[in-house]
Every structure is written in C-alpha cells, then in structure tokens.
Amino acid sequence: MKSGKKKVSPIGLNDITIVDDAKMRKAITAAALGNAMEWFDFGVYGFVAYVLGKVFFPGADPSVQMIAALATFSVPFLIRPLGGLFFGALGDKYGRQKVLAATIVIMSLSTTAIGLIPSYDSIGIWAPILLLLAKMAQGFSVGGEYTGASIFVAEYAPDRKRGFLGSWLDFGSIAGFVLGAGIVVMISAVIGEDQFQAWGWRLPFFLALPLGMLGLYLRNALEETPAFQQHVEKLEQGDREGLSGGPKVSFKEVATKHWRSLITCIGIVVATNVTYYMLLTYMPSYLSHNLHYSENRGVLIIIAIMVGMLFVQPLIGFISDKIGRRPFIIVGSIALFLLAIPAFMLIISGKIGLIFAGLLILAVVLNFFIGVMASTLPAMFPTHIRYSALAGAFNVSVLIAGLTPTLAAWLVETTNNLYMPAYYLMVVAAIGLATGLTMKETANKPLRGAAPAASNIEEAKELLEDLHDNIEQKIEDIDAQIAELEAKRKELVQQHPRID
C-alpha cells in the first residue's frame, strides 16, 4: 500500500525565480499600453459626452442629453462581469498572454466603430443602439483587460518591486486618459467647435486602431508569466488541480474559501474607481453643464492635474514597497472623507485657482488608491484561480463604480445640490477605510501559490533568508500552541477519574 504522505523538499535558492529584466520591461510596456488604450476611450468619451448627447440624442433637454450620454458610458459595465468570467476562465486555463492579445483586439475594433456610427439625424434610433452595442463590446473585452494586465505584471515582478512596477499599469491608464483628453482639445481648437460637433469628434476614436495594432504586436511577442509556467509544470508532473478542462474551483467555492479576499478586492476597487470616474469622467460635464464653465478651460485644468498625477503614480508604488499597501488605502480613505466637501467648495467657487486646488486634492487622494491597486489585488488569490476569481470580483465592483457619472449627474439634477458628488465620495471613503483596516498586507511577499521572485541572485539570497526566518517563526508559534494544548489536555485528564 502506498503512503498518502507527500515528500516535501527543503526550499533552496533554486526554488526562487530570478526575473529577466528585459522580459519584465516588455511585459510592463505591453500591459500598460492596453490599459492606456482602455482609458484613452474613457478620456475621449468623458470629454465629448456633451457632443455625443447632441449627436445621438437630439431634441432632448440638455440635461437629459448629458445624462443619456453618460448612461451609455455606464450601461456597458453591466456586461463587464460576463467578460470577466469568460476571459478569467480562459486566462486560468490557457494562460494570461493569449487572453490579453484577444482583449486588445476587441477593444480597438469596438472603439474605432464608435467613430463610424452615423448620427441620429441620419439613421434614427439605430444610432444610439449601435453606440450602445459598441460600448457593450468594449465592456466585454475590458472585463478581462485590467485584471489580466495587473496579473501579468504582478506575476512578472520581483516581490520587492511589485508595488513600483505595478504602479506603471495605472500610469498607462492616466497617460491614455491624458492623451484622449488632449487630442479632443487639440482637434477642437484646430477645426473649431462647430466643426468638432459636426464631424471632428469622430477622429479621436479612429486612433484606437493603430494603438490596438501596436499593443497586439507587443503582446504577441511576450512569453507566458513565470508564475503560470510554474503552475503548468506542476500540472504536468501530476498535480492536476485547477487547470485540466478549465478551473475546477467553482465561484461558490472561491466565495467560501477566499471570501475575505473577495471582500477586500471589492472594497478597494469600489473606493478607487468611484473616485476615478468622479474626477476623470464626470467632472468635465459637471464643470461645463452645472457650473457653466468653459468646456476647453475645464478640460485643460483636468489635463494639467492628470499630468501631475503621472509623476506621483510611480512614487506611490515605490514607497508602498517600503512601508506597505495598507497605509495608502487607510490614509487615502480618511483624506477622501475629510476633504471631499472642502474640495467641492473650492471647485464651486468659480475661481480658476481654487478650482484647480479642489481638483488637485481629489487627484492626490486618487493617487493613493491607484498607486497600490494593481500590486495589491493579484496577491489575494492563488495562481490557479487568480484570473477568474479576480476578474469576477473586480468587474462586479466596477459595475457599481461605473454607475458613478450617471448617478452623480442624476443626483445633482434632481436635488439641485452641487455638493451631492462630495457626499457620494464620503460614503465611498467609509468603504475604503473599512477595507484598509481589515485587509492583510501583501507587500514584499510572494504571490499566493507562486515561488518567491527576485531581481538578482543577491536579492534571491536575502529572500531565502527571510523565508527561512519566517518558517522558523511559524514553527516556534506552532510549538507554543502545542505546549498550550498539552497543558490544557493535562488539566482535563486530571479532572477525569478514569483517564491517566
């Protein structure tokens, strides 16, 4: 009879992954470019929402036009969880690289399609229907894009640099948003507002096609992540958990065994993305429609804010590798709760310097969240379910956050209270604070289910020493628990008359 015990070998230097710098740089570039294209569309869409309302919903009240255009932005978030489940299962079965190549193709084609849709005056009700279909195709592909990209970077990154390297993913997000907004301003300035509303708004969407082709080229040139390769090797050696025929862990089981990670993921994503969409998607319409501020001037202020965010983003990631991710979630949530109303007081003032200061406050708080999100989320789940579990939780959370522009616009219009967005952010801040206080720290630790990863052999030796120290500490803790249980057993035995 065979023994059921599995022999475990001591962990040595050969068990630590040494990350190839060239491959790592390619992985980060390819992942960030896809994310930049996703947010390029968000930037363009947010800044031309007022035009899209006139093109696709003519004849309606200006307030209704804006809400309808923003609703078209929000509705595709309903389809994102389906895309997340679909691409997540594929990513855990076939690998991260193949799925990311597919998502960027769908994203680029659907974004380009928006620029080709005729106006309502030309084809009637089919215009908004086609716009919605294009946005839903985007939503389906984006459902697997960000989570796949964050996992790709996290599984390539060394343990001690995961925060810094992961921060470049959202650097790509902000850069894409700045590029989209900047192109809108440039085209509008060159051809004039009338021509921009007539046909110029289509041009930014056409740029998604060459961006997508470049992203596809870069992603096809990549190798699979080291963590996933290790997982496949284990399966080939007889450990069939998780991959054969697709992930064998149901979402119900994930929710049972990893419910703490799911809740943490939802809290972080809601706090981050509500703030993101409030600042970068809703604020341009808020400034122009509700505060009657010049569209171009409002856009320029937000672009300047976002350029500043680009420089802060990697710094947050770098510091998080030193002090951890939790402090940024906690401090960012407290700051958002305390400063939301003061920030909107400055924005509502109507003075350009104070508007800039109010938006800057929200931007700095947002940096605290996005600077650590891409490195925090992938560390919550083991390798064989990481893509499917994270994609499901992330996209359900984004479904909530994606309603932010529409709900904020509706709340302001129905209550005539310009501070409603601030109250909205305060509720979200409470969610972020609860999440930060209860989450486990993930900085400087190996990904769950993966070997430790280092930049070089010297760092690998340090990681191995830290790992051995951690094992020794765990053994001492277990020994202490055993001694405590033995003492308790002895006490109970003494209380029983027939047990020696």
Q: What's the pLDDT at 242? A: 44
Q: Comparing C-alpha atoms, which of 120, 121, 115 is closest to residue 138?
A: 115
What does the pLDDT look like over 184-227, one tens digit per residue? 888 888 888 788 888 888 898 888 888 888 878 877 777 777 77
Assess contact for 104 and 34: CB atoms under 8 A: yes
Tell me the residue type at 410. Answer: W
Q: What's the pLDDT at 418? A: 92
DSSP 266-293: HHHHHHHHHHHHIIIIIHHHIIIIIS--
Number of residues in the chain? 500
| Pairwise CA distance, residues 196 & 295, whole Å | 13
Beta-carbon count within 10 A of 123 CB: 13
Q: What's the pLDDT at 296? A: 64
Q: Which residues contact 27 (CB under 8 A, 6 or more apart)?
A: 152, 153, 156, 222, 225
Assess contact for 448 and 381: CB atoms under 8 A: yes
| Pairwise CA distance, residues 102 & 98, whole Å | 7
What does the pLDDT look like over 334-345, one tens digit per residue? 999 999 999 999
3-state DSSP percent of the chain in helix, strand and coil, to 5: 80, 0, 20
Q: What's the pLDDT at 24? A: 80
| Pairwise CA distance, residues 458 & 363, whole Å | 38
Q: What's the pLDDT at 38? A: 72
Q: Which residues contact 247 (CB under 8 A, 6 or more apart)?
A: 89, 92, 93, 384, 385, 388
Assess contact for 144 and 303: CB atoms under 8 A: no
Residues of the chain predicted below pLDDT 50: 1-4, 240-247
What does the pLDDT look like over 60-114, one tens digit per residue? 667 676 667 767 766 777 787 888 888 887 877 777 778 888 888 888 888 889 8
Q: What's the pLDDT at 65? A: 67
Assess contact for 170 and 313: CB atoms under 8 A: yes
